[in-house]
């Protein structure tokens, strides 16, 4: 298990989330304006990636592949743990 991220790493993750979100929004606007729907798929991927970086910044932990692929399972596993137990 990896330790918590420091303040600088969290700030970098937040900046990456902001940059990817802006790129996704610009991509969606360009896809709508020019009718290039493959660009919309790329923009949706950028928005998904922004959400992943936002989760890294919010949780102060690097996400595992399992948490990236099926994030709802991590929530379910955490909700079934006894009070005070760590899910990570």
pLDDT band at 1 (very low <50, low <70, confident <90, very high): very low
Q: Which residue has the tokens 């923009």?
A: 43
pLDDT per residue over 35-52, tens digit each?
988 999 999 999 999 999
Domain presence at residue 87: no
Q: How much is the pTM?
A: 0.72
For residue 12, the enclosing domain spans 7-79
User: Count of domains in the chain?
Assistant: 1
| 15 is a domain residue | yes
Residue 46 is assigned to a structural domain of this protein: yes
- Residue 38 placed within a domain: yes
Give domain status of residue 53, yes or no. yes
Tell me which long-range contacts 47-53 makes (C-beta under 8 A, separation of at least 24).
47/20, 47/21, 49/20, 49/24, 50/16, 50/17, 50/18, 50/19, 50/20, 50/21, 50/23, 50/24, 51/17, 53/13, 53/14, 53/16, 53/17, 53/20
- pLDDT exceeds 60 at position 56: yes
In a domain, 55, yes or no: yes
């Amino acid at each position: 298990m990896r330790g918590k991220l420091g303040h600088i790493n969290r700030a970098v993750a937040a900046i990456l989330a902001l940059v990817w979100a802006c790129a996704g929004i610009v991509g969606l606007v360009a896809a709508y304006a020019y009718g290039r729907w493959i660009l919309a798929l790329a923009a949706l991927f950028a928005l998904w990636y922004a959400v992943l970086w936002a989760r890294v910044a919010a949780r102060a932990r690097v996400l595992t592949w399992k948490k990236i692929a099926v994030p709802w399972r991590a929530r379910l596993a955490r909700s079934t743990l006894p009070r005070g137990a760590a899910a990570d």
